[in-house]
Structure 1
Amino acid sequence: MQGTVATFDQTTRSGKLLTDEGMPLEFPASSLAEHIRHLRVGQRVFVETDGTTVTSIKIWN
């Protein structure tokens, strides 16, 4: 699925996003793809979940 970054804490590398379906999800640092160093609010991302837990985030090009 796809979504938009709502918040991102550079220190903890965690944050919140809003899916295109309107579902708010929190994401842990462990869900970020290896190459991601920073996310900005409003940035588009690809999101994988196992239901309600974010398992992977990749940058939208």
Structure 2
Amino acid sequence: MQATAYTYDSETHSGQVLLDDGTPLPFDGPAFDAGGLRLLRPGQRVRIEVDDEGDARRITLVTLQTF
């Protein structure tokens, strides 16, 4: 799934992305670290993997979207 980076805290490696419908979805440090990134800037397109468990939906991986 694709999204746009919205916020990012370089100390905790956590933040939020905006899904294409505008819904914000938070991610934690382990999801960011799983993608092998060192930095994320707001506005960057990212690829995310989501664990879909109803309302407990969470991001398990954040990496840059490549074309």
CA RMSD of aligned residues (A): 0.9
Q: TM-score, normalised by structure 2?
A: 0.82
1:55 aligns with 2:60: yes
| Structure with the higher helix share, 1 or 2 | 2
2:26 is paired with a residue of what secondary structure? strand
Aligned length: 60
1:22 aligns with 2:40: no
Per-residue deviation at 1:21? 2.7
Deviation string 1:1-60 (CA, Å, 9 cap, x unpaired) is: 100010000111100110113221000010121x20000000100011112100111111
Computing the radius of gyration from Cα coordinates, the structure with the larger value is 2
Q: Which runs of 4+ in 1 moved over 2 A?
A: none
